[in-house]
Amino acid sequence: MRYQIKGEPMPVVICDLEGNETMICESGAMSWMTTNMEMETTGGGLGKMFGRMFSGENMFQNRYTAKGGPGQIAFASSFPGSIRAVEITPSSPVICQKKAFLASTEGVELSVYFQKRLGSGFFGGEGFVMQKLSGHGTAFIEIDGAVVEYQLEKGQQMLIDTGYLAMMDDTVTMEITQIKGVKNALLGGEGLFNTLVTGPGRILVQTMPMSNFASIIASLIPSKG
């Protein structure tokens, strides 16, 4: 499979497949394709279906296979931002925000990821339930806004406003922390919680979480009097 990503800030990934190569995507992610791409809708078992549902994705996935020769298929982002290609191996799974998964080559597994500290996750709101991409292949993830990448050393930490963490390596640990000080929490305008990530590993930070964008748009809509 060869690919090219075009068109930011409304990007699309265009994938050129050899005969009998297969791409997997969420329901509704396909944008255009050649006529020899054959679609099959699958669930993969109740466990995987419910796992995808809890991670923010559709219970069913679509498999597109190039039949009779090379084929092409494109997957467009659903929100202004970036598409990032991530290489997945059995030794290097990644953890993503909910709804980040766009498409992948065959062999990548999508499952639900729960924070180990359930209490902090519940009170932290976002970030409690995430997606885990494992297996072997290339995955394409959607990122809200632009993306900034950091490589954390072992024990190196970064504090991130909740909702801005788009992806992290499986080796990175995360914890939802409460902002210190009642005045800071109530009057600082930064919410009540932050996400503390600890290396080693790579993290991808996004510049405009969809939830923030929705709040800005909602604030500009006149209320009915």
Each residue's pLDDT tens digit, 2-57: 999 999 889 999 999 999 999 999 888 899 999 999 999 986 544 555 554 544 55
Q: What is the mean pLDDT of the chain?
A: 84
Sorted by sequence, the CB contacts under 8 Å of residue 202 that are 6+ apart come out as 149, 150, 151, 152, 168, 169, 172
Where do the domains of the chain lie, and which CATH numbers do they carry?
A: 2-218 (3.60.160.10)
User: Where is pLDDT greater, at 16 or 115?
Assistant: 16
pLDDT for the residue 62: 93
Which regions of 77-225 does DSSP assign to beta strands (E)? 81-88, 94-96, 101-105, 108-114, 129-135, 137-144, 147-152, 157-161, 165-169, 173-178, 193-198, 201-206
pLDDT, average across residues 79-101: 94
pLDDT for the residue 140: 97
pLDDT above 70: residue 139: yes
pLDDT, average across residues 207-223: 76
Residue for token digits 């950091």? 150
Sorted by sequence, the CB contacts under 8 Å of residue 23 that are 6+ apart come out as 1, 15, 17, 63, 64, 73, 75, 103, 104, 105, 106
pTM of the model: 0.82
pLDDT for the residue 115: 67
pLDDT for the residue 125: 46
Give the pLDDT band of residue 123 (cuts 50, 70, 90): very low
Lowest mean pLDDT among 64-68, 161-165, 178-182: 178-182
pLDDT for the residue 13: 97
pLDDT, average across residues 155-176: 93
Q: Write the Ramachandran bin of 186: left for phi over 0, alpha for psi from -120 to 50, otherwise beta.
A: alpha
pLDDT for the residue 112: 85
**What whole-number percentage of the chain has pLDDT above 90?**
58
Is cis: bond before 222, omega within 30 of 0? no
Query: How does strand 157-161 pair with strand 193-198?
Result: antiparallel
CA dihedral sign of residues 144, 166, 105, 116: negative
The count of C-alpha atoms lying within 13 angstroms of the C-alpha of 30, restricted to the half-sphere facing its C-beta, is 20
Lowest mean pLDDT among 41-45, 50-54, 65-69, 104-108: 50-54
DSSP-derived secondary structure letter, 120 = H
pLDDT, average across residues 194-202: 94
pLDDT above 90: residue 175: no
Give the residue from 165, 159, 166 showing the smallest Cα distance to 180. 159
pLDDT for the residue 179: 66
